[in-house]
Amino acid sequence: MKKYQKYIEQKNNILAINGGLPVRKKPFPNRNLFNIEEKNILNKVIGNSIKTGIPIRYRGKYEEIYCKKFVKFMGGGNAHCVNSGTNALLCCLHALNLKKNSEIITPSVTDVGCVMPIILMGHTPVPTDIDKNSFNINLDQIKKKISKKTKAVIVAHIGGEVANIIEIKKFLKKKKIFLIEDCSQSHGARLKNIKVGNFGDISFFSTMSSKIHCTGGTGGIVFANNKKLFSRSFLFSDRGKLFKKNRFTGYYTDLGLNCTLDDISAAIGCVQIEKLKSIIYRTNKIGEYVKKKLIKMNSPSQIGKQIKNSLNVYWFLRIKLDKNKIKVSKKKYCDALKSEGINLSEKYLYNPFNHKWTKKYKKNLKKSSASLKNYEKSLKEQYVIYIRENYSKKDVNDILKAIKKVDKFYKM
């Protein structure tokens, strides 16, 4: 028995990448996002359809309840739901009523869904570099890309970390340039206690099931404090159909698409929004806990610098690796962590302009991605660890334990 224990101890003292035992033997838990509450509401929605014979559609009871709940969550304003974050941006762009070929400053770290609608709406996305301390764009980078043709700026709060949106908003207001917030990865994040989505002239959220808040497998929300912009977006989302008291009047008053969300998804949203507060609480707690512990461990891996007075919701952990403090390459360090059972990406490769599609639409883009210095640097300095709100203390401690173990071998 003693011999076996000694063997295990020895194995625990060898990096898993070199044949030792990994810190994390079991995979991290699945998200378990849908439970009995979702099942019950879906039973209700479908049960009611069976009972009454009325098919499930959109603009139903649950959509109305859901939008009201979302507005309450945001602290006021106007919200309508759509079937994806990408289509939510289409609606936002239509709402702004920009002149054709307007330039729109667009982050170089975001989903392609934050870019493609710009071209489809006849405008020009202007790829813009990120801040050197985060994955978000900042005012200096925006200023570098501004021209007479700039009519809007999209700011995405990537990974649940808040961009420096107040100073951006102030600047754009003076210049009379619209601000669109992409809150797809940051539901409930705050700056100076104001929830993201409230800073933009118009804002959008993805509500697909990998996000902090969802309406089922896919979905999205447009949010605006400005009633006029909201109404234009709302009309566009349903072919310009004019509704009165939730009934179609028979009139089509504007150009549009069909971006509507069905009542099944809205019903899931109604349940999920009740869980949102605790999801935000958990992801924030986990991120802050890891941040504190990494500082205490004096690890070369540290949570990246964040904006003062921000409350971040950590859709993932953005880790800055100090290469001067490790004996191996970043890749080797990350491979070792992966072998210890940690879910991570050595590079956050979410540059929407770095893909094949841009070759076909070169003429529609302002500048190539060659000028994205900070983005390129971030690939060399930062990596991301994936977390979920349902991770237990042990799960989170396993992440820290794995970092500690890898540091033991690779820290200078």
Ligand X SMILES: Cc1ncc(COP(=O)(O)O)c(C=O)c1O
Stretch that binds ligand X, among 8-16, 63-71, 111-119, 338-346 (CB under 6 A): 111-119
β-bridge mates for residue 106, sequence order:
127
Q: How many residues are listed for the chain in this entry? A: 412
**Of the candidates 325, 327, 342, 339, the residue with the CA atom closest to the CA atom of residue 383:** 342
Report CA-CA distances (Å) from 63 to 54, 66, 266, 372, 389. Answer: 16, 5, 5, 41, 26
**Among 90, 104, 156, 403, which residue interacts with ligand X (rule: CB under 6 A)?**
156
Q: Minimum Å distance from CB 153 to ligand X? A: 15
Angle ∠(126,128,132) on CA atoms, nearest 5: 180
Nearer to ligand X, 83 or 302 (CB): 83
**Among 86, 134, 136, 312, which residue interacts with ligand X (rule: CB under 6 A)?**
86
**Of the candidates 366, 374, 370, 381, the residue with the CA atom closest to the CA atom of residue 106:** 366
At what angle are helices 85-96 and 227-236 packed, to 10 degrees? 120
Nearer to ligand X, 113 or 341 (CB): 113
Tokens of 296: 């205490």
Nearer to ligand X, 198 or 207 (CB): 207
220 touches ligand X (CB under 6 A): yes
235 touches ligand X (CB under 6 A): no
Largest CA distance in the chain: 82
Q: Minimum Å distance from CB 291 to ligand X? A: 22
165 touches ligand X (CB under 6 A): no
Tokens of 360: 């076909």
272 touches ligand X (CB under 6 A): no
265 touches ligand X (CB under 6 A): no
407 touches ligand X (CB under 6 A): no
Alpha helices per DSSP H over 298-372: 330-339, 357-360
Q: Minimum Å distance from CB 156 to ligand X? A: 5
Using CB under 6 A as the binding criterion, the count of chain residues that bind ligand X stands at 14
155 touches ligand X (CB under 6 A): no
378 touches ligand X (CB under 6 A): no
302 touches ligand X (CB under 6 A): no
Question: Residue with structure tokens 């990096």?
Answer: 15
Cβ-in-10-Å burial (0-12, 13-18, 19+) of 121 comes to middle
Q: Which residue is nearest to ligand X (CB)?
A: 85
Stretch that binds ligand X, among 11-19, 81-89, 241-249, 376-384 (CB under 6 A): 81-89
Q: Minimum Å distance from CB 60 to ligand X? A: 21
Instruction: Answer yes or no: are the C-beta atoms of 151 and 176 closer than 8 Å.
Output: no
**Among 33, 62, 67, 84, which residue interacts with ligand X (rule: CB under 6 A)?**
84
181 touches ligand X (CB under 6 A): no
Which residues from 313-332 bind ligand X, rule CB under 6 A?
none
SS3 label, residue 103: strand
Stretch that binds ligand X, among 83-91, 190-198, 304-312, 387-395 (CB under 6 A): 83-91
Nearer to ligand X, 214 or 344 (CB): 214
C-alpha dihedral (110, 114, 115, 116), degrees to nearest 10: 130
Tell me, what DSSP letter sits at residue 58? B
**Among 114, 142, 177, 224, which residue interacts with ligand X (rule: CB under 6 A)?**
114
159 touches ligand X (CB under 6 A): no
**Among 63, 73, 92, 111, which residue interacts with ligand X (rule: CB under 6 A)?**
111
Instruction: Answer yes or no: are the C-beta atoms of 295 and 264 closer than 8 Å.
Output: no
Stretch that binds ligand X, among 29-37, 82-90, 123-131, 227-235 (CB under 6 A): 82-90
Alpha helices per DSSP H over 161-214: 165-175
197 touches ligand X (CB under 6 A): no
Stretch that binds ligand X, among 105-113, 142-150, 262-270, 327-335 (CB under 6 A): 105-113
**Among 113, 159, 197, 200, which residue interacts with ligand X (rule: CB under 6 A)?**
113
Instruction: Answer yes or no: are the C-beta atoms of 273 and 213 closer than 8 Å.
Output: yes
Alpha helices per DSSP H over 157-306: 165-175, 227-236, 263-297
Cβ-in-10-Å burial (0-12, 13-18, 19+) of 79 comes to buried
Residues of this chain that interact with ligand X (CB under 6 A) are 84-86, 110-111, 113-114, 156, 182, 184-185, 206, 208, 220
